[in-house]
Amino acid sequence: MGIYDTKSIRDRLQGNSYVGRGIVVGKTADASKAAIAYFIMGRSANSRNRVFALRGDDVYTEPFDPSKLEDPSLIIYAAVRTLGNQLIVTNGDQTDTIAQHLRAGKSFEQALQTRAFEPDAPNFTPRISALLRFENGDFSYKLSILKSIDAEGSDCARYTFSYPPKPGLGHFLHTYVRDGSPIPSFQGEPERTEIPNSIDDFTREIWENLDESNKISLYTRYIDLKTGGMEYRLINKNSERSLP
């Protein structure tokens, strides 16, 4: 396999019981749309007690059964937020940190310099984030991961990857390599993956290849680069329904 080999999202997910939370960003094969996906998985009852909910164009995680909610600090947050011509996608409350810094004229990297991995020893779950910027009929995007530098969680290593959009190419960043105890954090660069023209094909390929026992919710969005119009799909395993 060469360094530029690009796999389908099916091949990236199939047979891996636990990749954790994941972000995919890229451009459709016909070069007409930007594409994003965000999904969550969970092993504990508290993690599995979640759904995605829309508030305008933004996406939040919410408890499915509020009476069973234990610790909301790491599982309830804004996952997707629109800010002018920018779109933020993350796996935690760093969404709001990024938005606050961008409003103040600061950068994605400056925002994440103030944050670190999650304090959930011994896993030290990485914080993963994406920023898309739309202008001149196209877009650019960045992906970031904040992860523990060692098994003790003594300090944080911060990595940012910047990409020009290429037709049919996406990048996939997820929190874990696979299941384990402790769970091993993602390693290396975001994975190259294919972005189809159809949002339904994209959504189906992700959802059907996430581990059935551990998958919780999925949100996908395609943004038309000429008109700015968008379409989305939202699937919650708990409520067993999709939107629209």
Name residue, tokens 């990409």.
163
Taking the alpha carbons at both ends of the chain, their separation in whole angstroms is 39
**In this predicted model, what pLDDT tens digit does every residue of 172-224 receive, in sequence order?**
999 999 999 999 999 999 999 999 999 999 999 999 999 999 999 999 999 99
What integer pLDDT is reported at residue 1 of this predicted model?
55
**In this predicted model, what pLDDT tens digit does every residue of 4-21 receive, in sequence order?**
899 999 999 999 999 999
- What distance in Å separates the CA atoms of residue 75 and residue 62, rounded to the nearest whole number? 8
Cis peptide before 244 (omega within 30 of 0): yes
Q: Is the pLDDT at 93 greater than 70, yes or no? A: yes
**What's the predicted TM-score (pTM) here?**
0.95
Q: Is the pLDDT at 136 greater than 80, yes or no? A: yes
According to DSSP, the β-strands at 78-83 and 86-90 are: antiparallel
Which stretches of 179-244 are DSSP H helices? 199-209
- Residue 18 near residue 183, CB atoms below 8 Å: yes
Residues 6+ apart with CB under 8 A from 209: 9, 10, 13, 14
**In this predicted model, what pLDDT tens digit does every residue of 155-171 receive, in sequence order?**
999 999 999 999 999 99
